[in-house]
Amino acid sequence: MITRAALIHIPKSNLCYAYDRKTLHIRVKALRGEIEKAYCRIGDPFDWERGGGGGNLEASGASGWHHRLIEMKLEATTEYHDVFFASIERPTKRSRYAFLLEGHEETILFGERRMLTLDGSPAADAQLNDLGNYFCFPYISEDDVLTVPAWSKNTVWYHIFPDRFCNGEPSNDPENTEPWGTEPTRDNYMGGDLQGVTRKLDYLSELGVTGLHFCPIFKGLKNHRYETLDYFQIDSIFGGDSAFKTLVEKAHARGIRIMLDGVFNHMAAAHPFFQDVLSRGKASPYFDWFHIDQMPIKPGTYETFAYSASMPKINFECQAAFDYFIGVGVYWVKTYGIDGWRLDVGNEVSHDFWRAFRKAVRKENPEVLILGEIWHDALPWLRGDQYDAVMNYPLMEACARFFAYEAITAETFKRKVDTYLTNYPKGAVEAGYNLLDSHDTSRFLSIAHGDSSRLILAYVFLYAFPGSPAIFYGDEVGISGEKSDESERHRRCMIWDESKWSRKIYETLKRMGTLRADDPDFRGTEFEWMDFAGDDGLAFRKGALLFLINRGHENRVFEAPKTEVAEQAEQRFEDQFTGETVSGLGIEVLPESFRILRYMG
């Protein structure tokens, strides 16, 4: 029998949502290997051949319900479940639906209130018209549809820690600036600025970068600038407002988008607002801006980011604070034309605030990307009313365990990836920010013990994966460095001496950027696993492209299956890197390498 307890479906979630104004995406989960075929029986609850005024309930006296039977495809396989999927364009915006599931020599109807065996009896057939047992998607409201900027699906992000990328104007260096390339600490400065980024725009364009993601650049304390002192001013050590204006204009002229880091969960304790509270207590107009538990105010009496007394947490139940940060979000979009906000510690800020933030920012510019920093399951923020997407830390962790540590098999890696793909609406996946490392983590090359092949394989996967790949500055030239309580080496200065670059990494990422820009299949969002026997091989298809990745230390041979396009015994592919034509049967992949091939029909 089909295991009833393993069947999962929740309307208005990642398992059923409006992809656009006319299309529903519907998923159902079943125990792995139990369902042979899955169908979605769907229609408008009021659309009957006769009667149907009460069709939203039991349709008493009605007959001939107009419905469609849609075969669902096996979209993904997670650790415990097969996930079946259907994209259904609806002639109306109202839907009732249930699932017909075939397997283990039985067919069942899976509805909202009960599961029934369909054995052909009159009693069972009658249940097919009992819409009271059907799941309901009451109406596709346009405000509830997750609409992501089209450009965000095809972006190659480059993540910059401003103090460490390039020093373009030494005259604005802090007094304690140290020589470029000095061992980084939490407190020292290297002089990187926005003028330096502007000088390197040609370099970034040649690398294939189409979006710049900055760590905070507002006036603040510390070299990381996450302790903000003024949300309406670019820090003078980065060149000030004028340098930022120039950067945005020149980047946009090259087709490069700009995304700022919004640190709205907390601010610096040295910020004038908090200082006013410290000096005036409850008499301060900013007292309610913060979570203050008791008087007198001292470390431990107010809430903070983590346990850092230097970063008091903002209270968004205070309307003045709420309105102030909405204003910050709109200001940088309106005044400088930024293209996106990356929202720091976004999961600790109220959902009401993010709903208002989205409306205000999108009113100013409907094409602004709203990206959250969330390290765990982010579905509550991705229902169409808050974020467009999040930083893909689950994929980062899976890539680290598979490519760098070799701690999991290819099968386990695929299950982790499939879990991510089905945990969110497709729009959020398509706009996802896919990373291997960041200013908050050790460099991938360090956890891979300096093995550049492993970094390359991981980046190839990232570039091919649905969503947008993100390069942490310097990964492309082989910068390594670990993060720990004692180490800040992951934030080392960018290397501009090309003789010290890893040309192998650089040329591969540059080539990936070109392929992604030029090949629609490469940047497409449809992704299908293929069989590649063993624990070390990954094979997947995107359109006519075939990706083969061999993490292992021995040659591997991929046996290409027959397809609908190629019924001949032998398939032919063109290698995207060498241009040679290879046999589709028995494609060899060398150790710690990859191949990307296009089918030659």
CA distance 353 to 342: 15
Q: What is the CATH number of the domain that holds 499?
A: 3.20.20.80
CA distance 39 to 25: 13
- The β-bridge partners of 312 are 304
Residues 133 and 156 in one domain: no
CA distance 291 to 282: 12
| Structural domain span for residue 180 | 152-265+314-518
276 falls within a domain:
no
Residues 536 and 464 in one domain: no
Q: What is the pLDDT of residue 26?
A: 98
Last residue of some domain: 518, 540, 563? 518
Residues 348 and 210 in one domain: yes
Q: What is the CATH number of the domain that holds 13?
A: 2.60.40.10
Which residue, chain included where needed, has tokens 């965000």? 152
Q: What is the pLDDT of residue 60?
A: 64
Q: What is the pLDDT of residue 207?
A: 98
Q: What is the pTM of this model?
A: 0.96
Residues 410 and 551 in one domain: no
Mean pLDDT, the chain cut into blocks of 10 residues (601 residues total): 96 97 97 98 91 60 87 97 97 94 94 92 80 94 93 97 98 96 95 98 98 98 95 98 98 98 98 98 98 96 97 98 98 98 97 98 98 97 97 98 98 98 97 98 98 98 97 98 92 98 98 96 93 95 95 93 60 89 90 93 68
Which residues belong to the active site? 344, 373
Residues 256 and 350 in one domain: yes
| Total residue count of the chain as it appears in this document | 601
Residues 174 and 211 in one domain: yes
Contact 212, 204 (CB under 8 A): yes
Residues 508 and 567 in one domain: no
Q: What is the pLDDT of residue 203?
A: 98
**Of 495, 453, 499, which is closest to residue 474 (Cα–Cα)?**
495
Number of domains in the chain: 3
Q: List helix spans (H) across 386-530.
A: 393-399, 410-423, 426-430, 444-447, 452-464, 503-518
| Residue 383, φ and ψ in degrees, nearest 5 | -100, 10
Contact 588, 578 (CB under 8 A): no
Q: What is the pLDDT of residue 599?
A: 87
Q: Radius of gyration over alpha carbons of the chain, in Å?
A: 27
Last residue of some domain: 518, 547, 567? 518
Residues 192 and 248 in one domain: yes
Residues 491 and 474 in one domain: yes
Residues 185 and 252 in one domain: yes
In this structure, the strands spanning 16-18 and 23-31 are antiparallel
491 falls within a domain:
yes
Task: Say if residue 296 is preceded by a cis peptide, omega within 30 of 0.
Answer: yes
Last residue of some domain: 90, 112, 144? 144
Q: What is the pLDDT of residue 571?
A: 78
Residues 111 and 169 in one domain: no
Contact 384, 359 (CB under 8 A): no
**Of 431, 600, 598, 427, which is closest to residue 518 (Cα–Cα)?**
598
